[in-house]
Amino acid sequence: MYVNDRADIALAAGAKGVQLTYQSLDVALVKSSFPGLRIGKSVHSIEEALEAERQGADYLIYGHIFPTASKQGLNARGLQSLNEITKAVSIPVVAIGGITPERTKDVLAAGASGIAVMSGIWAAASPIEAAEQFYTKVRKEGE
């Protein structure tokens, strides 16, 4: 289990880690204060990715890769940008934003270590079936 933004709650709940946002405390501060937690950081540029890695992030979440209803009015960053990020850092990069089962292969081919999905599951007629489709695609493409 990972907790969004709140390292103190993550520790109290016995979570494995915390996912920091752009508004969160610095990775280095969280890492030194909560050394037992894995630290993820949401990033939106190569500069942010490099800084998060330098501060000790264990992984990154990068996006939004494709257009998505949750980021209306903002340009998607695209597969080329994802590929640039994954080449710039040595830690895993998880892609998020507008990812569908059909796009999974291209996202992983661009260097992502995995995908994060929200509306693709929550907005599905059958969230369980949608989650199974994503799981199958990631396992198939990861082989």
Which residue in this structure is represented by tokens 């796009």? Answer: 103
User: Of 76, 94, 97, whose CA–CA distance to 85 is shortest?
Assistant: 94
Active-site residue identified among 59, 60, 63, 64 = 64
Indicate if 44 belongs to the active site. Answer: no
User: Of 67, 68, 79, whose CA–CA distance to 108 is shortest?
Assistant: 79
- Secondary structure (DSSP) of 88-137: H-SS-EEEESS--GGGHHHHHHTT-SEEE-SHHHHTSSSHHHHHHHHHHH
Look up residue 7 and give its amino acid.
A
User: Of 94, 84, 97, whose CA–CA distance to 45 is shortest?
Assistant: 84
Which residues belong to the active site? 64
